[in-house]
Each structure stands twice: as structure tokens, then as C-alpha cells.
Structure 1
Amino acid sequence: MKQPPDEWLHHAKEPCLLPLGGAGEIGANFYLYTYQGSWIAVDCGQGFLNDAPGGTGTTVPSLDALIDLGIQLDALVITHAHEDHIGALPHLWSRLNCPLYATPFAQHLIRDRLDNRQTWPAMHQVVAGQSYRIGMFEVEWIPVTHSIPEAFGLAIKAGDRLIYHTGDWKIDPSPGVGHGLATSRLQALGREGVDVVVGDSTNAPVAGHSVSEQQVAQGLAKTIQPLEHRVVVSCFASNIARLAALGKVAQQSQRFVTLLGRSMWRLYHAGKACGYLNDFPNPISPRDAGFLPRHEQLWICTGSQGEPEAALSRLATGLHPSLELEAGDHVLLSAKTIPGNELAVERLINALLRLKVDLITSRNALIHASGHPCQEELALLYDWLKPKRLVPVHGEFRHQQAHAQLAMRKGIECQIVSDGELMQLAPTLQRLGEVPHGRWLVDGHRLLAPDSALLDQRRQLAEQGLLQVRIGPGDTVKIQAPGLSLDLATLHQWLQTQLQSGTPANPSRLKVQLERWCWQQWGKRPLILVDLIPNE
């Protein structure tokens, strides 16, 4: 697909959408809107690369399109504080160099991740229901319910066009903490006339209606109260309502709460600071928890997605520095497996079962609810909004397709968009072209392209190992091969034969010979380093 015409990139007479993350994939949500030369971005989240060197790597959306096309954002607006919507900010916000608009809870978590030694662009706190003029846009934050406090949809006005960007949402009459869904305001938007919805597709293939957090709270209480031994619950740390429910269950069952995992503590402090966990019992330290009787312990920990460094994986493998699981302990996985994490979760489950714990999941108990709308909720939203058009995002293609099919059955015009595609939103949906897009891999404080030579070297190190040969004065040879199980004596003898041939040692030529020899003798292609130490 060709690059969009310059007039649409810099002087669009109709509002356009340019997703640079989150369209056709799970995570890294980063949606750009343009109108009459003005640009805003909605969310700036992180994603994951499952084939990164050493395992799963954190990724952020590439900004190549903005750099190459000279796009300067008027603002970055945040719908809610999940990592797939704000996690890229510590890496990208200074490069975007634009003001940020967010709610108090999101601002607390964003500031917690920023390097205080750097100077950051301005941050503005938004109030629900108020409209903010940003460039050629007018943006209103509409309260919705989701699996985190202070989640919002966005009513975006561009001239006489009205766009509703759903963010992540569901219809939950009892969300546990935070505000409810602004049903009357959504119905009012429908009466005003919604031109297009840019909407969450995560659960579009799922029939029915999502479960309320209040039902989950009741299910957790019913499941945990009869249990006789130690209880360990792993859930998403950002689900403050789930934390609040577990705090009440702990009090009702006369158990002491212990929090495990850095992100669990970070979200706990954010919830307390914003007034969402005022009644939560004071957690006791892991060291103190070990001295309590098993039936008085309730551990809440990170790691429901099988992350190898998270608290639950450390417990499952016996690597936690302070605590250990025992046979008969009750472990509850109060979370859904995110697509892409299936193998990691299976490894975690197998490790737990080897410890002979009692494993409880959402398959056999009501201990988890999705934060995204199923088909009945999507249909109800469209009855309220009465949109002319839909662009399904926030999901893989199968999710987008199911979302589009549902909307078309209601007579709504639909187009599926992918990352990098500029989509005209009115008076009809039309693809205008494609811009550079992709992911950057987070490497400490640096960002790398996934196809960089450095990452290729790391993959080679991880899969094939490293062979280092140092040739000193008098043709002495020293070989190091960390991570390789090789016959180094045979290699040493072969090298001595090559050096005694009378031809002066040439590092480049010797490297090529070593690559050929390693493949012929061992079936390996290690990363080879040859050092020639000259005579003093």
C-alpha cells in the first residue's frame, strides 16, 4: 500500500485514524487522530515480543512514522492506566514532546515510572464529563467500567464530526471500586449523532455478557472461606477491585494479607493514595508471614501470566527468597491467560502441580471476570450510540472480524484497520495509505529495532553459544566456550595444526575457518571472536 497523500497527512479535511499499535494485535495501544493539520494520540502502551533473545521482551510502538513524516502531536490523551495503554510512556513521552492529559490515578502510576532526573512535558489532570480543546479537536472523558479504576471512553469532536473512542470497557453494574458506566451520557451522544466508533474488540467473539466484579468478589469469598491451609491468589495487580475484595475475604476468614511482587506493591500504594483501598488490611511482610499458622495466611501475588521473574513463578520453582509453598496449599489463578502467554502459563501450572498444591482456576470456580465487553454488551452500546460506522481495534484480526460482523448485522458500516494504515473516518470509511510502523524493543534505557544486528547476535548467543579464541606470542592458544558442551581438546589440536602451517595468523581468515569447522564437527554456529595478541 502506498504512502497517504500529503494533504491527508497534514491538511485532512475530514478526521482520520492512524493506529501505530493495537490494531490487529494485543497490546502496545497507540492511536493517532488527525484533522486539519492537528494531531492527537490516544494512549501509549507497551507490548511483548515472545521470540526476543532470552525470552519475552518488552516492546513499544515505533515512532518512525512521526519522525519520517514530520508529525508533531498537539497532545497525548490517556483512557486508563493499564500497561498496554501507558507502559511505553517512560520510553517515548520525551520523544513525543507534547502535553499529556490523564486522570489522577493514571497520573500517579505514570509519575511512578518516570525518571525524576529528566525533564518531562506538561501533564494535565482531567475531570470526568468536562471537554478540553486540544488543537482542532474537542475531547470529553466519558466514565466507563473496566478492570481498573478511572477508565474512560473519549468523545472526540472534529468540526461537525463526532467520534467515540471506547477505550477498554464493559457493562458492570457493580464494579467494586470507582465510578460506574455513564449510560445516560452515552445515550445522549447517540441522540447528538455519532459518526464513528473506534472500539474495543477483545471479547467480540464471546457470546453473552461479562461477569460483574461484585459476582467475582462473592465467588472469591465462597471459594476461600472453607479452605483449611495457606491461600495464594495470583491476579493482575492493576485490578484494584480484586485487591479490595481479597482484603475483605481475608478479614472475614481471619487471615493476614501478604503482598508479593513489585507491581503488586506499586498498585497497592497507588490505590491507597487515590482513596480506593482505605479499608484494605495492613499487609504483613513476607518474612513475618512465614511464622504464622498456614490457615491464617493469604498471599496475593503477581505472576498469573507465567512470567519467570514474577512472584508466583518463583514460588512454584522454589526460588522465592522468603517463602515457599507446601503440599496442600491452595493456589487460585484469578486471571485470564492473555493470548501469547499460553505456554508460559502451562509451565507455571505444571510446576505448581508438582508441588502437590490444590490449584483452583476460573474453570472450576467464579474467581475471575474479564474487563472487556462480550457480544450482548457491544450490541447494547450500539443501541445507545446509534453510530453510522465502526472501526474495530484493540485485538487480533479474529477479534476485529467478529466485532465487525456483529456491527454489520446491526446495519453499521465497518472497515478493519491494521497498524500503519491511515483511515478516513467520514463521510465514509476509506483507507488512504500506509506509513512506517512496527515495534522497538526495550533494551535497558535504549530502544532497538527488532531486526537490529545486535539482537541477531544475542539470538545467536542464546541458541548457538560463544566461542572465543585468543592467539598469543609463540602461537599459544587459549579457548573459552561458555555455555557450549564441546570437545575443546580436539579444537585446540586443530588450531595448533593451522598455526604451524607457516602462514601468519589472520583473524578474519581464521574466523571463517572456525565457522566451517564448528559446523562440520559439532553442527553448531556459535558467535566466534578471534583475538590476536601481538608480541611485546
Structure 2
Amino acid sequence: MSHPHPELPAPAALPKGGVRVVALGGLGEVGRNMAVIEHDGQLLVIDCGVLFPEDHHPGVDLILPDFEYIEDRLDDVQAIVLTHGHEDHIGAVPYLLKLKPDIPLVGSMLTLALVEAKLREHKITPYTLGVKEGMREQLGVFDCEFVAVNHSIPDALAVFVRTPGGTILHTGDFKMDQLPLDGRLTDLRAFARLGEEGVDLFMVDSTNAEVPGFTTPEKDIAPAIDKVFRHARRRIIVACFSSHVHRVQQVLDAAEKAGRKVAMVGRSMVRNMTIAADLGYLHVPDGVLVDVKRLDDFADNQVVLICTGSQGEPMAALSRMANRDHRIDVGEGDTVLMASSLIPGNENAVYRVINGLMRLGADVVHKGNARVHVSGHASAGELLYCYNIVKPRNVMPVHGEWRHLVANAELAVQTGVDRDNVVLAEDGVVVDLVDGRATVAGAVPCGYTYVDGSSVGEFDEALLKDRRILRDEGFISVIVVMDAATGKIAAGPEIHARGFAEDDEIFNQVRPKIEQALAEATGKGVADTQQLEKVVRRAVGGWVGGKIRRRPMIIPVVIEA
């Protein structure tokens, strides 16, 4: 379970006329955002994203929301509304549509283009409805109005959901950059108008709620990027998210000024930026962009590479460069610009990549030593503005770890929202809006769904625990052949160990203990090989725990001959 809540019962039936909100991801974590809104027997899904695995998820590719809550009610889902095109908001859409491919997808032009490209890889042709700010769409019983918000990707939207049982304003991810690169402001006039109409529940991005003041405008990092370009001696390698159109635009503009050519590295980067350019969200200066295969035609001081891997993802281009496992051979005098923030949980992976690049002689410029990235999320000052403008009746912080949710809740209280009307919830907690009041009504199962290669949902916590043990504690196999006629050991115990610093000879000490334990068991009439394997496991486990202070995986094999 991701956030089990044994203290909360299963929710009672939704009271007639009420509205139910269940987050299946994104609360208590940064990623796999997904909220389900219910009214009058119908469901509306807002976002459907992925969470990227951390060190304690060995072998896991992606983590999805838990669809169990809605799996038996997919016919009730009127639409999936996507607030913007980041992976933590759209990455799980293919996995949900595999269960029911005709659920309509609703989103802005860029968001839908990015998710459609992803769905093509899964051989799914979706039914889509393109919307933009100012539009209203009736999706079953849900009357949805879309509001422009500023974020680190173009075309982000907040959604205002009107139902007969109450209204909900979901911000999606947003900030209030007053000088955005694309000129598209967060529409505070619309927020104020909706506040006048009445917002019964305000679901607010919490990511930067702990950060005082206001988020730095995107344009303020242009001088830092220009400085990097002026001082770079050889190649410049820029790592950022494959969907960060604004950052790529700044790099293209800086490259044009510096007379450098730009090549994009990585399938997702090339795909997303091609989509952004085709739709007019990315302006590529004439003659600047070249194919990566042509890099050898230019001197090192004329080249810029834009790649993925800013979060230390092991298979991304930058990580492979740091490990010398990429056609781009990073070396002395190269400059690597990591133009992104650290997603919580990725710190160790990112620092490993930075250290690897610096060991190869590269100069690494990152948020810790230069202003080369700004957040896409509203800081505390901006959130206070929003609360004062919207004046919501109830508040439910979303999108963030527990510390972010708590900080956001306190901001709401400071602006005059009654503390009893601020709902702190995690994944799986059911929040009901009845007669204008939001309260916790219970909890539903809401675990992690792991993607492991082609396997989806078949990978459970027990298997993950086994992998952690194999990685951290090692492995011991014990093979014993028992004489079926006499019940005595005919051969073995043969012991094989992996992942131990100690010499194999140390395991000679445990052989007499295994032999003694088996003799005692057979003397009591135990003959079943499975029972004898348990005896071996206990004997070896007790000895290894006491002697070596380890808890390895122990695989006993007892063969009857």
C-alpha cells in the first residue's frame, strides 16, 4: 500500500446530492497525480500520471495510480481531464485506456498532442476533445470550465467543475509568472469571477507551499544561461525535462546568439520538441537545429546538445554519458548545464551523475551553483493571493508530499478559511462535499501499481522485498540430498553464497548445524521435503544472523534419492 489508512473505515454510500473526491495518486508524493470526482453515479477523472521509482524500487520502470477503485465502474467515467502535458499528469493514461479505450480525453492542444504520441506507442487511438481557456464543456453531469494557468510547460489549464451538488476548482500545476515567456498569464480575473460565483472546494497545487515569497520569473534565468554560453570552451550539453518547452526555447535562443548549432538527443526529447514546434509552441531559429548525426561536421565550440536525464534516470542520455555508455563522449572542457530542479527522492541519483561528469573533466552548472532553473509551481506568496482572490468555502491541498500539504493548509487558514474546512488527505482518502461542507468520509484501497518491463500490476511488495534483500543482503543456496530409505543425508549440504565479503570457508561452520537440525527433524518423523527445507532455512538463517549480522535470501533445496 502506498498510504494505508487502517484507522479509516470504508466510506458509506455517497449522500444524495453530494460530491465525492478520491485522490488515487499525488497526495503525499510528487507524482502519479490522479483525482476522481463523483456525482449522481457518474465519475470524472482529473489527470492520470506516473511516479518515477526511487532507489528502494529496484527493477521498477514506472509506478502507476491504483485503478482498483474505478475498475468496475469504467462505464461511469465521463472523461479524463488532463491539466497539462507533464509525465506525472499524463504518463499513466495508456494504462488506464488499455482497460477501456473509448474514455474521452479532454485537454489543451499541446497536452493532447503529447499524450496521443504516447498512445501511438501503445497502439491506442483515443477519442479526444480539445479545449482552451474560457471554454465550457458538459461532460455528463459535470459542467467543466477551463482557465489558463502558467506553468513550466505551455497550455496548462485549471478546471472549474460545476455540479448540482457543489463546485470544485482544481488548479492543476501552476504559478503566477507575471512576465511569462509565452505571454500567457495565470488568469486571476477568472479565478476572481469563479470566487464570486462560489468555490465550494479549492484543490490547490502544494509543491512550493513551503517556499516563501514568489517564484522567480522564467525570463530571469536567461542571463545565467547566456553566461554559460559565453564562457563554455567546448561543447555545451543541456539536460532538462523532455517536455520543458520554455527551457528548450531559451537554449535555442542562446545558441543562436552564440553562433552554435543545436542537436537534440533522446527519443522523447526529439518527439516532444517536434510536436511543440509543429504546433507553434516552440520557435526554432533558422539554421540552428541540426541532426545529431551531423555533429562531427562542426567544431566542439560550435555545438550544443539538448538531452534528457536531469533527474539522474539511469537509462537517460545524460546518465549514460556519465557512465561512458553513450556515443557522446564527455570530456575535459565540456560544459554540462542541468536546467531543472531536483524532484524529491532523486537527489542521490542526480549527484551520482554530476560526480561522474566532473570525474570525466566536465564543468557542471546546476541549480546549486547558478540560477539556471526556476520552479513551475506557485510559492507561498502566490498561494496567499489565490486564497484571497477565490475565497473558497473549503480547501483540499493537492500535489505534494505531506510537508507540502500541511504548509499549504496553513496558508489557507491564515487567509481566513476555517481550519475545520481545510481537508488534509492522502492517496485513497475519500472526501465528501455535502451541503457545502467537505469532510473525510473514509478510505479505499490505493496501493502502488508497478510497471516492470512488460508486466503491469503483477509485481507486488513481496517481490520488491525479495529484490531489496538480494541487492542489500546477498543470497545463499543450500542443496541437500536425503536417502529416502534411511532418512539420512546422502550428499551435501552444498552451500553457495553470493554478495558476501567473507570467504566461502566461513560457511563450513554452518554445515554441522544443518546436519544436526535435519537429524533431529527426521528423528521426529519429518520426511516431507518442503518441511525439511524449512528446517534448513531456519538453521542457516539463525547462524547467518548471529555470526555475520546479515539477513540474506536463503534458498534451500532438499532432494529425496
Normalised by the size of structure 2, how large is the TM-score? 0.84
Whole-angstrom CA distance in 1 between matches of 2:333 and 2:395: 50
CA contact (8 A) 1:515 1:528 kept: no
Task: Name the aligned partner's letter for residue 170 of structure 1.
Answer: K
Counterpart residue number, 1:424: 432
3-state SS of 1:44 partner? coil
Deviations 1:264-296 (A, max 9, x none): 223222212322224255544445425632211
Q: Pick from 464, 469, 478: which aligns with 1:460? A: 469
3-state SS of 1:391 partner? strand
Q: CA RMSD in A?
A: 3.3
Tell me how far 1:531 sits from its aligned partner: 5.8
Task: Name the aligned partner's letter for residue 65 of structure 1.
Answer: Y
Counterpart residue number, 1:174: 179
Whole-angstrom CA distance in 2 between matches of 1:228 and 1:117: 43
Q: Is the aligned partner of 1:441 residue 2:455? A: no
Distance 1:437 1:69, change over 3 A: farther
Task: Name the aligned partner's letter for residue 5 of structure 1.
Answer: A
Unaligned stretches of 5+ in structure 1?
A: none
Counterpart residue number, 2:5: none
Q: Bigger shift: 367-376 or 488-497?
A: 488-497
Counterpart residue number, 2:306: 300
Whole-angstrom CA distance in 1 between matches of 2:139 and 2:86: 23
Tell me how far 1:221 sits from its aligned partner: 2.0
Alignment coverage as a number of residue pairs: 531
Whole-angstrom CA distance in 1 between matches of 2:369 and 2:556: 58
Tell me how far 1:110 sits from its aligned partner: 1.6
Distance 1:313 1:188, change over 3 A: same
Whole-angstrom CA distance in 1 between matches of 2:193 and 2:335: 48
CA contact (8 A) 1:61 1:440 kept: yes
Distance 1:249 1:493, change over 3 A: same
Q: Pick from 203, 210, 218: which aligns with 1:205? A: 210
3-state SS of 2:352 partner? helix
Tell me how far 1:231 sits from its aligned partner: 1.6
Q: Is the aligned partner of 1:4 residue 2:27? A: no
Q: Bigger shift: 76-85 or 48-57?
A: 48-57
3-state SS of 2:234 partner? coil
3-state SS of 1:411 partner? coil
CA contact (8 A) 2:529 2:560 kept: no
Counterpart residue number, 1:517: 540
Distance 1:519 1:346, change over 3 A: farther
Q: Bigger shift: 78-87 or 283-292?
A: 283-292
3-state SS of 2:88 partner? helix
Distance 1:70 1:88, change over 3 A: closer
Distance 1:357 1:28, change over 3 A: same
Deviations 1:324-375 (A, max 9, x none): 2222322222111111112222222322333343222234433211101112
CA contact (8 A) 2:232 2:334 kept: no
Counterpart residue number, 2:393: 388
Normalised by the size of structure 1, how large is the TM-score? 0.88
Distance 1:51 1:127, change over 3 A: same
CA contact (8 A) 1:144 1:181 kept: yes
Whole-angstrom CA distance in 2 between matches of 1:152 and 1:175: 15
Q: Is the aligned partner of 1:103 residue 2:108? A: yes
3-state SS of 2:54 partner? strand
Distance 1:534 1:24, change over 3 A: closer
CA contact (8 A) 1:199 1:393 kept: yes
Tell me how far 1:161 sits from its aligned partner: 3.0
Task: Name the aligned partner's letter for residue 88 of structure 2.
Answer: D
Task: Name the aligned partner's letter for residue 399 of structure 1.
Answer: H
CA contact (8 A) 2:74 2:100 kept: no
Whole-angstrom CA distance in 1 between matches of 2:143 and 2:306: 41
Whole-angstrom CA distance in 1 between matches of 2:170 and 2:336: 38
Distance 1:470 1:165, change over 3 A: same
CA contact (8 A) 1:90 1:115 kept: no
3-state SS of 1:79 partner? coil
Matches within 5 A, 1:192-271: 192-271=197-276
Matches within 5 A, 1:359-398: 359-398=364-403
Distance 1:377 1:449, change over 3 A: farther
Whole-angstrom CA distance in 2 between matches of 1:397 and 1:53: 20
